[in-house]
Structure 1
Amino acid sequence: MDTLVFLGTGDAMGVPRVYCSCDTCTEARAGGVNVRLRSSVLIDNGSDVLVIDCGPDWRRQMEAQGIRNMRRLLITHAHFDHIGGLPEWADACRWMGYRGEMYAPAEVIPIIERQYPWLGSHIDMIPCDDGITLDGWQIDTWKVCHGKNGYSYAYRLEKEGYSWVYCPDSISLGPDETKRMHGADLLVLGTSFYYEAAELSTRSVYDMTEAAELLKIVKPRRAVYTHMSHDVNFLKDYTLPENVTLARTGMKLKLS
């Protein structure tokens, strides 16, 4: 049975913010429950792992899970909080003596190659726009609106009658962008704030109040919110749909 592990559940800046003394950051700075590394998950099948996104906290996340060997990776988009750990992974591949396999949408790969032009010496970069199968998971990807930050991609993974969707960076999705979310057993969705008051044109990720409306449309059996900023304090009570959980670092879910 495959297990989903949340390696990180924070937004692009993580929690605590160096400059911030809000209640959330203060509690996190003391080693509390609000410590959040940049968002990433892995699928553990008992003998190997498949990771989605590789941000600047990648090394710390691998150490926390006791993982010494990561051969495969999916990338949602080329923002630093999702690719900042690629040089460390490439170095690990070099020392372990194998080539890593990085799967990403075709238009994302040249951006990564420009950012880190030497990665190709140690990592194969493989387009996945037409779908791929890894560890028995049939994986479908599509482009989603990332608001003022441009675009990202979402993944739907299906295996043995179970389906789940990973979409950490999106906002204001239309019918074409949500149609592959419908009826999933699990939707992992990025929600940086509980309620974000800023003008919509300046924003890039759903807040939790907007996400609740999205869930009414796509109707997953269960949803988990991730990619949370320091606006979200686990010591507070939030009004959420009953099938929603806030992700915590190290949280594990059975994918069946």
Structure 2
Amino acid sequence: MIVTFWGTGDAMGVPRVYCSCDVCEEARAEGRNRRYRSLVQLTDASFGTMLIDCGPDWRNGMEAFGLRHIETLLVTHAHFDHIGGLPEFADMCRWLGRKGKVYAKREVVDEILVRFPWLRRQIDFKPIDGKLTFGEWETVCWKVNHGKNGHAYAFRFTHIASGRCFAYCSDAIALQGEELEPLRDLDVLILGTSFYEEPYPFESRSVYDVREGLQLIERLKPGRMIFTHMSHDIDLSRNYDLPAGTAFARTGMLITI
């Protein structure tokens, strides 16, 4: 499977419209730090192409990666930065005369339809209840702590024949017990980390920072760890001296599982 990062930013994206920090100014001028809201494309010969999340920058990704249609989405939770593109996705389906498919936990589906009740005309919402199978990959979805923002969901994909596996956990913090178990012994862990070292009180936070993410390596033992969902605190032109096997996601970056 190939995982392509369309977006690697947090809820506000980078540059923030109100901000003139060095990272935001570099993002405007040169673009190394320009980050759209977090979204990944999954491509595999056994199932085709699907996306995890559909934020407000969805259309930019469709144009940038040359896609005119996509049928299947997975959604981690119903925050705007993860579902803001659904009306445009539905409009695409309407014009093409096709029905989109969105997989999410039942309460996530319910929250989406409270906000956008008309989407059910063009989208077949499929509440997740148990394991899913996409081609040669088995998928599990489970609840994770999202700090002051309540909870979100993460996804783990395991190749049925080879056992290769990766997880996408974009919006989580301070995971314990059963929340952590599906993140163990992965080939690749994609983890959301908003700051390198977040300075704000813990009770006001909702996503890991990089230093906390690095501390998870010894407990979870992933083959590789990729950081996404980054705020304007992370400067990709800076050397953070990350350990081997870890990296910051970059717009357009591809990894193979």
Give the shorter-chain TM-score range. over 0.9
1:8 aligned partner, one-letter code: G
- What stretches of structure 1 move > 4 A for 4+ residues in a row? none
| Greater displacement, 232-241 / 172-181 | 232-241
Structure 2 unaligned regions, length at least 5: none
Q: Which residue of 1 aligns with 2:44?
A: 45
Cα deviation, 1:116-173, whole Å, max 9, x if unaligned, reads 0000000011011311111221100100000001100000001132100000000000
2:164 aligned partner, one-letter code: Y
Q: Which residue of 1 aligns with 2:175?
A: 173
How far apart are residue 33 of structure 1 and its match?
Answer: 0.5
Alignment of 1:1-256 (within 5 A): 2-45=1-44, 48-159=48-159, 160-255=162-257
2:88 aligned partner, one-letter code: E
How far apart are residue 48 of structure 1 and its match?
Answer: 2.7
RMSD across aligned C-alpha pairs, in angstroms?
A: 1.0
What secondary structure sits across from 1:108 in the alignment? Answer: helix
What secondary structure sits across from 1:164 in the alignment? Answer: strand
TM, length-normalised to structure 1:
0.97
Contact 1:129 1:140 in 2 (8 A): no
Hey, what's the Cα distance between the residues in 1 that align with 2:19 and 2:230? 15
What secondary structure sits across from 1:90 in the alignment? Answer: helix
2:114 aligned partner, one-letter code: R
Hey, what's the Cα distance between the residues in 2 that align with 1:230 and 1:15? 6
| Greater displacement, 107-116 / 47-56 | 47-56
Contact 1:137 1:157 in 2 (8 A): yes
Contact 1:191 1:226 in 2 (8 A): yes
2:14 aligned partner, one-letter code: V
Structure 1 unaligned regions, length at least 5: none
Contact 1:193 1:208 in 2 (8 A): yes
Tell me the number of residue pairs that the alignment of Structure 1 and Structure 2 aligns.
254
Identity %: 50
Hey, what's the Cα distance between the residues in 1 that align with 2:183 and 2:62? 29
Hey, what's the Cα distance between the residues in 2 that align with 1:111 and 1:31? 38
Hey, what's the Cα distance between the residues in 1 that align with 2:129 and 2:148? 23
How far apart are residue 237 of structure 1 and its match?
Answer: 1.2
How far apart are residue 240 of structure 1 and its match?
Answer: 2.2
2:178 aligned partner, one-letter code: D
